[in-house]
Amino acid sequence: MADSSFDIVSKVDEMEVQNAMGQAQKELAQRYDFKGVGASVEFSGDKILMKANAEERVKAVLEVFEQKLIKRGISLRSLDAGKPFPSGKEYRIEASVKQGISSEDAKKIAKIIRDEGPKAVKSQIQGDELRVQSKSRDDLQQVQALLKGKELDVALQFVNYR
C-alpha cells in the first residue's frame, strides 16, 4: 500500500479579507461613536492601513476589523498588526496578512511532529508548506489533532489529504 499524505499550509483568501474590510468600512461609516473622528480602514499597497484622530479610536477600528475577519472565517493569527503610531494629526496602525509558513515556523512544526507525533510519520518542508507522510491514515489524523491542539503563531490548514 502506498503512503498517505497531507500538506500543511497557511493561506488566507484575499477576497475574504477584502470582504471583511468592506464590512468594516460600512460599520465605521454607520456607527455613532466613529462620526467625526476620521476613522477608516483601507489597503495601502500590500498593507492594511487603519486611521483615526485618537489612539483609542484607531484601536477600536482595529477591533472592528478583527471582528469582521472572524465572521468571515479568517484566523487572527494570520493578521500581523503593529502598534498605533502618530502621523500628523492622526493615529495609524499598519497591518499585514501573513501568507505561507516561514522557515522557522516550519522547523518548529516539523520538530513537534517528530517529537510528539507517531513514530511512523515523516514530515518534509517544501517551500512555504509542509508535507506529512505515513503508511497509516490514523497516524496522519493524530498529527492533525496534535497540531490543532498546539498554540502556534500561524494559522494552519490541512490540504491534499490522500
Residue whose C-alpha cell is 507525533: 117
> Identity (one letter) of the amino acid at 129?
E
Question: Span 64-78, mean pLDDT?
Answer: 92
pLDDT greater than 60 at residue 1: no
Residue 2 is predicted with a pLDDT of 61
Where do the domains of the chain lie? Answer: 4-10+101-159, 14-97
Fold classification of 4-10+101-159 is: Alpha-Beta Plaits (3.30.70)
Helix (H, G, I), strand (E, B) or coil at 43: strand
Confidence of residue 157 (pLDDT cuts 50, 70, 90): confident
pLDDT greater than 80 at residue 56: yes
Neighbour-count burial of 91, counting CB atoms closer than 10 A to its CB (0-12 exposed, 13-18 middle, 19+ buried):
buried
Residue 86 is predicted with a pLDDT of 92
The tens digit of pLDDT for each residue in 7-25 reads: 989 888 889 999 999 999 9
Helix (H, G, I), strand (E, B) or coil at 158: strand
DSSP codes, 75-139: -GGGEEE---EEETTEEEEEEEE--S--HHHHHHHHHHHHHHS-TT-EEEEETTEEEEEES-HHH
Domains 4-10+101-159 and 14-97 share a fold: yes
Predicted TM-score (pTM) of this structure:
0.83
The tens digit of pLDDT for each residue in 107-141 reads: 999 999 999 988 889 989 988 889 999 998 888 89
Residue 30 is predicted with a pLDDT of 93
C-alpha–C-alpha distance, residues 106 and 95, integer Å: 22
The tens digit of pLDDT for each residue in 17-52 reads: 999 999 999 999 999 988 888 899 998 878 999 999
Helix (H, G, I), strand (E, B) or coil at 57: helix
Tell me the CATH architecture of domain 14-97. 2-Layer Sandwich (3.30)
Question: Span 55-81, mean pLDDT?
Answer: 92
Torsion sign, CA atoms 115, 117, 119, 120: negative
